Amino acid sequence: MTCRKINTGRLRGIICYTPEFKAGDPRPEGYNAFYEWAEVQHKAGLRQKRCGRCGKWNFPQEMSDKTIESRHSKTKWGPEIITQVPMCKSCESNKK
């Protein structure tokens, strides 16, 4: 959210507004700006994916090209299934 101070003659105050977002724009800072940005992303058809490491939901522009292996089984006694799941950019940068 961007705020401007107005001080012209008798009119004084602060006006806050959020910029216009487009599909694929990076995630903004701030609570209100995030929700307006997320709404634009959803209306554009972008859907969130879950990070395989931290479990947070992110839009495609926040996800890394890297994947990690996830091991799980469909049933209690079934065979173990190994799948490739995406990783977010913050987990990739924190990777040791």
The answer to whether residue 51 sits within a structural domain is no
51 burial via Cβ count (<10 Å: 0-12, 13-18, 19+): buried
The answer to whether residue 77 sits within a structural domain is yes
In this prediction the pTM is 0.67
Give strand pairing partners of 14: 5
The answer to whether residue 52 sits within a structural domain is no
Q: CA 21 to CA 38: how far, in whole Å?
A: 9
The answer to whether residue 20 sits within a structural domain is yes
Give me the number of domains the chain comprises. 2
Q: Pick from 61, 54, 65, 50: which is nearest to 27 by CA?
A: 61
Task: Tell me the residue range of the domain where 3 lies.
Answer: 1-46
The answer to whether residue 53 sits within a structural domain is no
Which 8-state DSSP code applies to residue 55? -
The answer to whether residue 54 sits within a structural domain is no
Q: CA 11 to CA 8: how far, in whole Å?
A: 5
Q: Could you report the per-residue pLDDT of 1-57, keeping only the tens digit for each?
A: 677 888 887 888 888 877 788 999 988 887 878 888 999 999 999 999 999 899 999
Q: Are residues 41 and 76 in the same domain?
A: no
